[in-house]
A and B are shown apart, each in its own frame.
Chain A
């Protein structure tokens, strides 16, 4: 495993920890999109179907379990926890997330590495992950007071995607047989979606002012 990949996984892990920290300790999910969190839970459920069938490494298994458990825990907190759920900004989290699941499933059926159940679900999860951040970005645009933890959560999530691209470039030159076009193209699309956010995040950090995204 190369350094970019490890750094990517770690920033992904940090993003989840930041979000859980906010939800668990502050008992607030203000500014967090439940739609995005539900999509991530679906992404991991679809992608990690191979968890008990295909063993890669202990690291891989543990990380998969962590991402599965954390995504479902976050959804549970936002829907069921009696204090946390009251802080959910339902009025502004209006992205029609169900409507992006079906196109991703169709795309997974059409464009996959092999037409088997697991491969179709894998491709589906890759396409869905690429767009899963959209409800969160829309909610951020509509949020007047974006708190630091929410902004940091999205920042780390975006950083993870950027680092994965560096990881693929590295692997492309060091492992000649390593080519996954589906994850590369979807991954680049996913990273581009963060472009705007990164721009304003860095700007707010440089000028030491609160993050605000223009609508």
Chain B
């Protein structure tokens, strides 16, 4: 889901 999506953007 959204909440556990890895934040791989800068």
Contact = CB atoms under 8 A, between A and B. Distances in A.
Nearest to A122: B7
Contact of A64 (B3, B5, B6, B10): B10
Contacts of B8: 56-57, 60
Contacts, number: 31
Looking at chain A's contact residues, is the secondary structure mostly helix, strand, loop, or mixed?
helix
Interface of A: 5, 9, 12, 50, 56-57, 60, 63-64, 67, 113-114, 122, 164, 167, 177-181, 183
Nearest to B3: A113
A56 B6 contact: yes
Contact of B2 (A5, A56, A122, A180): A180
Contacts of B10: 9, 12, 60, 63-64, 67
Contacts of A64: 10
A183 B7 CA distance: 10
